[in-house]
A and B are shown apart, each in its own frame.
Chain A
């Protein structure tokens, strides 16, 4: 065996991992070959050097850090298990919260939308028409009072003063404008429910309307549609409207006033728009049925709003008296 072959076996020889006959050959060779002996010695030294490297001490925090990661690894599995086993623990509050939110939102929307809904159902045409007719009537009455011999109810000197920049030439067309208004008012009030702004204005407008026809005329130029809308809304909300068809309006008026005083009702006002008489009064809600029964003896009764069953205490009623025959005017 040559030195090269011997050197190849030295590693195994050191490890004692060599067949016994080869071992003998190697040992024999080593005795006579200083080169191979040196190789063996060097190999032993090299291995000794390698083995001499000290074991390194891992950092003291290593265990902790490993265990933290391992626990992290274990934690989400527990979470998933809990989810699978007790899904309601997490889901139920969410479901409840969602349900409560929906219920609250529904109730809120219902309450907010209520007036609009009612308004949409209301028989708007008649009321709106009446309102404007009433306005016109008032103007005409005023004219009749002041100048009986005037060829036309319009123009009115006082009125033209109040109307801003009103020209005599424009007065004739103006006559027809209020006639058209009911349609406009009707469509507007159906399309656009009264806004809060209208509501705020409402009281003021209503007052001026009651106090003077002149004021109403002024309003007419500024925002008639809004006035009608708010007036209608007012009637819708608080007033029970009863329409009464009679043969003779004046005698009916007297009869109704008598009935109302008998029922301890307080007459607020009596208006004469167009060919109607409107008596507004406050009456105990419980007596409304009785009133209607009495009214049926005077003429043909139509209840526009039905009876407010839920009402307690006083209730405003508006009795609209119409003649059955063609308008006198």
Chain B
């Protein structure tokens, strides 16, 4: 794919141009558009709500700082998500020796996700006990994801949760597409084992 083609196909091209000219409102539009995705990438990769919030902020601030250097070789969204992935990896490395599954004690995620649950239950609250069970399952899945090796976790998140193409993942992680595929296969095999172990069934 040529550069011109890339720019033409980038839906954010106009907003990005405005940002380069110092239009803060245009940047805010991009923040609103991508903050959820950025936040979720960070959250799945780090596994901690508060750290994900900080990484999301850092991602956008970092993007704002270097937006003039963004040449449009890839889509803006891919470029932005690459920043998010890298900052998440860094954050996870910083947190280092800490056991991630320990952070997912019942208190922590419940407290952090409370706001979200409240918003949803305000509109519709069909089955609270089922909802709670679902929430527990979600937590266990996240726990399994957290236990994967870094290289497997990131491809699994980007492919199966975020739905990026092999090409995009290859670009984000700066690895060959073939490597993405082989890592994805290994990641899926491992998560299968982990899920079976933790959930008791698939």
Interface residues of A (CB under 8 A from B): 8, 11-12, 17, 42-43, 45-47, 49-60, 62-63, 65-67, 69-71, 73-74
How many Å lie between the Cα of A70 and that of B28 in the bound state?
A: 9
Bound Cα distance A74, B21 (Å): 12
A12-B184 Cα distance, complex, nearest whole Å: 9
Find out whether the CB atom of B56 lies under 8 angstroms from the CB atom of A66: yes
A67 nearest CB neighbor, chain B only: B28
Residue pair A58, B39 in contact (C-beta under 8 Å): yes
Question: Hey, which chain A residues are within 8 Å of B115, CB to CB?
Answer: 57, 59-60
Total inter-chain residue pairs, C-beta < 8 Å: 107
Tell me the minimal C-beta distance from A192 to chain B in angstroms: 68
**What residues on A are CB-neighbors of B39 within 8 Å?**
56, 58, 62
Question: Shortest CB–CB separation between residue B201 and chain A, in angstroms?
Answer: 9
Contact partners of B166 in chain A: CB under 8 A? 17
Chain B residues, CB < 8 A from A57: 36, 115-116, 119
Q: Do A11 and B53 touch across chains, with their CB atoms under 8 A apart?
A: no
B27-42 interface bits toward A, Cβ cutoff 8 Å, 1 = contact, 0 = none = 1100110011001100
* Residue B45 is within 8 A (CB to CB) of chain A in the complex: no
Known contacts A57-B36, A62-B35; 20 further A-B pairs (Cβ under 8 A) = A8-B185, A46-B188, A47-B188, A49-B195, A52-B141, A53-B145, A56-B43, A56-B116, A58-B35, A58-B36, A58-B40, A60-B115, A63-B28, A63-B31, A66-B31, A66-B35, A67-B24, A69-B57, A70-B31, A74-B64
| Docked-complex contact B191 and A65, CB < 8 angstroms | no
Indicate if the CB atoms of A11 and B160 lie closer than 8 Å: no
Contact with A along B71-94 (1 / 0, CB 8 A): 000000000000000000000000
Once A59-B115, A70-B24, A73-B65 are accepted as A-B contacts, the answer to whether A53 and B141 lie under 8 Å apart by CB is yes
A contact face: mostly helix, strand, loop, or mixed:
helix
Nearest-Cβ distance from residue B50 to partner chain A, whole angstroms: 10
Nearest residue in B to A45 (C-beta to C-beta)? B202
Whether A67 contacts B202 in the complex (CB less than 8 A), given A47-B188, A56-B39, A56-B116, comes out as no
Top 9 A-B residue pairs of the complex, sorted by shortest distance between their CB atoms: A45-B202, A58-B39, A11-B185, A46-B192, A57-B116, A66-B60, A50-B160, A70-B64, A69-B61
- Asked if B138 contacts A54 (CB within 8 A), the reply is yes
Cα-based distance from A67 to B28 in the complex (angstroms): 7
A70–B26 alpha-carbon span in the complex (Å): 12
Given A45-B202, A58-B36, A66-B60, does the pair A50, B145 have CB atoms closer than 8 Å?
yes
Q: Which of A12, A17, A55, A70 contacts B27 (CB 8 A)?
A: A70
Query: Which B residues between 144 and 195 are near A, CB-CB below 8 angstroms?
Result: 145, 156, 160-161, 166, 181, 184-185, 188-189, 191-192, 195
Whose C-beta in chain A lies nearest to the C-beta of B177? A17
Chain A residues positioned under 8 Å from B64 (CB to CB):
70, 73-74
**Cβ of B188 and Cβ of A11 under 8 Å apart?**
yes
Which residues of A have CB within 8 Å of B137?
52
| Given A11-B188, A56-B113, A66-B35: A51 and B202 interface contact (C-beta under 8 Å) | no
Contact between A11 and B36, CB atoms less than 8 A apart? no
* B6 located at the interface, meaning its Cβ lies under 8 Å from any Cβ of chain A in the complex: no
Q: For residue B145, which residues in chain A have a CB less than 8 angstroms away from its CB?
A: 50, 53
